[in-house]
């Protein structure tokens, strides 16, 4: 990788320059969707898209948000997996795909989640919503609040199932954001999205995500279909440490959404790679801290920093580091002190703050005096 460092005094240094012949990246496949988006699961970088901000009916992709709200309720200990939920008549009568729970019977939260995730049960979704919030309408308010927290500003939810409503909509971009949040925030529960079949009441139903059988690297996530929405699929796969998330909406058939999603996934892995740029806590550079007990402070990132680039282009990256010309003590660990920008062939790919990796308190009276004199001459 090639680096260039400068302070706000425009000191410029360059080293480790590497000449790399960049491989061409072809256009994404044409899959016949009304809208699609594929992102890297770790960095969130967009890898391929078609009208990703188009507002569409999400159908049962809605159940990703239903699950996200329930997962938060579990994390906050508001409910438990072993809680027994009494099935209401409303849940029992909910039309569409079903888990086949019976009115008045008691079903554990975990079973309802599996019935919703694997079997896409609308009845299970409503039962969960009522258990968490008392009613499906109040639960929908929670769905919208969590959507805003995730910056899903182009989504609005009316119900927990995805049954059609003019005021119930989302976008491929928002759903990709949601899928990434589930994968990263709730890895324990995300494993359930790879379950191929589930049996309840002696009725065995397969997961509707055909990619689970076709591609061993696919481990989720959710299908959807209504006459209005067409055939939809959020899928995710992991190969050699890299994860991609694909959202396709408005496809013509089950086969089309499966084939289209597979084409996008293969494209993502073939032409892109995700690499660790800097480890958490490693020193990227050092900077002078004036009037401090230690002359220099190490700078780095607090979490592992990854970057997604076209495959084979990592060594052609350029990094520019901006550090203020004068930084004064005291400095506390984690304090942002500088900024790094990473680009490829003139395109900015990443911008991240660099933080102090340790405390650097004010120096003694003598140290502060000497530095004051030096700063005067500076």
* Mean pLDDT of the residues in the chain: 93
Q: Please check whether residues 209 and 137 belong to one and the same domain.
A: yes
Q: Please check whether residues 247 and 314 belong to one and the same domain.
A: no
In a domain? residue 27: no
Q: Please check whether residues 108 and 48 belong to one and the same domain.
A: yes
What is the pLDDT, as a whole number, of residue 19? 65
Q: Please check whether residues 284 and 265 belong to one and the same domain.
A: no
Domain around 250:
35-274
- Between residues 370 and 249, the one the model is more confident about: 249
Q: Is 236 marked active-site? A: no
Q: Please check whether residues 244 and 306 belong to one and the same domain.
A: no
In a domain? residue 29: no
Catalytic residue among 63, 73, 235, 298: 63
The answer, yes or no, to whether residue 332 has pLDDT greater than 50, is: yes
> What are the pLDDT digits (tens) for 1-31?
544 444 443 333 333 445 677 889 999 999 9
Catalytic residue among 35, 49, 60, 210: 60
Q: Please check whether residues 184 and 302 belong to one and the same domain.
A: no
Q: Please check whether residues 261 and 140 belong to one and the same domain.
A: yes
> What are the pLDDT digits (tens) for 223-242?
999 999 999 999 999 999 99
Q: Is 63 marked active-site? A: yes
| pTM assigned to the model | 0.91
The answer, yes or no, to whether residue 371 has pLDDT greater than 80, is: no
> What are the pLDDT digits (tens) for 114-162?
999 999 999 999 999 999 999 999 999 999 999 999 999 999 999 999 9
Q: Is 135 marked active-site? A: no
What value, to the nearest 5°, has the Cα angle with vertex 16 and ends 15 and 22? 125
Q: Please check whether residues 164 and 56 belong to one and the same domain.
A: yes
Q: Which CATH number do you get for residue 189?
A: 3.40.710.10
Catalytic residue among 35, 120, 210, 235: 120
The DSSP bridge pattern shows strands 35-40 and 242-251 to be: antiparallel
The answer, yes or no, to whether residue 303 has pLDDT greater than 50, is: yes
> What are the pLDDT digits (tens) for 80-104?
999 999 999 999 999 999 999 999 9
- If one counts the domains in the chain, the total is 2
What is the pLDDT, as a whole number, of residue 86? 98
Q: How far is CA 1 from CA 18, 277, 314, 317, in A?
A: 7, 10, 7, 5
What is the pLDDT, as a whole number, of residue 201? 93
What is the pLDDT, as a whole number, of residue 367? 76
Reduced 3-state DSSP string for the chain: CEEEEEECCCCCEEECCCCCCCCCCCCCCCCCCCEEEEEECCCCCEEEEECCCCCECCHHHHHHHHHHHHHHHHHCCCCCCCCEEECCHHHHHCCCCCCCCCCCCEEEHHHHHHHHHCCCCHHHHHHHHHHHHCCHHHHHHHHHHHHHHCCCCCCECCCCCCCCCCCCEECHHHHHHHHHHHHHHCHHHHHHHHCCEEEECCEEEECCCCHHHHCCCEEEEEEEEECCCEEEEEEEEEECCEEEEEEEEEECCHHHHHHHHHHHHHHHHHHEEEEEEECCCCCCEEEECECECCCEEEEECCCCEEEEEECCCHHHCEEEEEECCCCECCECCCCEEEEEEEEECCEEEEEEEEEECCCECECCHHHHHHHHHHHHHC
Domain boundary among 221, 243, 274: 274
Domain boundary among 240, 255, 274: 274
Domain boundary among 274, 294, 327: 274
Q: Please check whether residues 178 and 229 belong to one and the same domain.
A: yes
Q: 157 - beta bridge partners?
A: none
> What are the pLDDT digits (tens) for 51-84?
999 999 999 999 999 999 999 999 999 999 999 9
What is the pLDDT, as a whole number, of residue 42? 96
The phi and psi torsions of 246 (rounded to 5 degrees) equal: -120, 135
Q: Please check whether residues 292 and 371 belong to one and the same domain.
A: yes
What is the pLDDT, as a whole number, of residue 10? 32
Q: Please check whether residues 176 and 258 belong to one and the same domain.
A: yes
């Amino acid at each position: 990788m090639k680096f260039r460092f400068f302070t706000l005094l425009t000191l410029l240094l360059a080293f480790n320059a590497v000449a790399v012949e960049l491989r061409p990246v072809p256009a994404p496949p044409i899959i016949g969707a009304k809208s699609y988006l594929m992102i890297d699961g770790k960095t969130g970088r967009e890898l391929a898209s078609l009208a990703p901000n188009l507002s569409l009916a999400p159908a049962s992709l809605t159940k990703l948000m239903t699950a996200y709200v329930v997962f938060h309720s579990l994390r906050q200990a508001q409910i438990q997996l072993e809680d027994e939920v009494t099935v209401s008549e409303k849940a029992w009568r909910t039309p569409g795909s079903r888990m086949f729970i019976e009115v008045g019977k008691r079903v554990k939260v975990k079973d309802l989640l599996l019935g919703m995730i694997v079997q896409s049960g609308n009845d299970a979704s409503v039962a969960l919503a009522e258990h968490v919030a008392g009613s499906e309408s109040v639960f929908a308010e929670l769905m919208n609040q969590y959507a805003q927290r995730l910056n899903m500003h182009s989504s609005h939810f009316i119900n927990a199932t995805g049954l059609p409503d003019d005021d119930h909509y989302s976008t491929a971009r928002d759903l990709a954001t949601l899928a990434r949040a589930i994968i990263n925030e709730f890895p324990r529960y995300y494993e359930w999205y790879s379950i191929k079949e589930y049996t309840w009441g002696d009725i065995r139903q397969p997961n509707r995500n055909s990619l689970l059988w076709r591609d061993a690297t696919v481990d989720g996530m959710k299908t959807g279909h209504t006459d209005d929405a067409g055939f939809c699929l959020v899928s995710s796969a992991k190969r050699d440490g890299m994860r991609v998330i694909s959202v396709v909406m408005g496809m013509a058939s089950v086969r089309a959404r499966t084939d289209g999603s597979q084409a996008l996934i293969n494209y993502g892995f073939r032409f892109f790679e995700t690499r660790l740029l800097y480890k958490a806590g490693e020193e990227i550079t050092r900077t002078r801290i004036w009037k401090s007990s230690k002359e220099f402070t190490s700078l780095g990132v607090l979490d592992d920093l990854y970057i997604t680039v076209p495959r084979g282009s990592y060594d052609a990256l350029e990094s520019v580091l901006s550090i203020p010309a004068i930084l004064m003590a005291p400095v506390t660990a984690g304090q942002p002190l500088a900024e790094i920008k990473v680009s490829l062939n003139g395109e900015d790919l990443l911008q991240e703050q660099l933080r102090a990796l340790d405390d650097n308190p004010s120096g003694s009276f003598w140290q502060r005096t000497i530095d004051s004199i030096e700063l005067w001459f500076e």
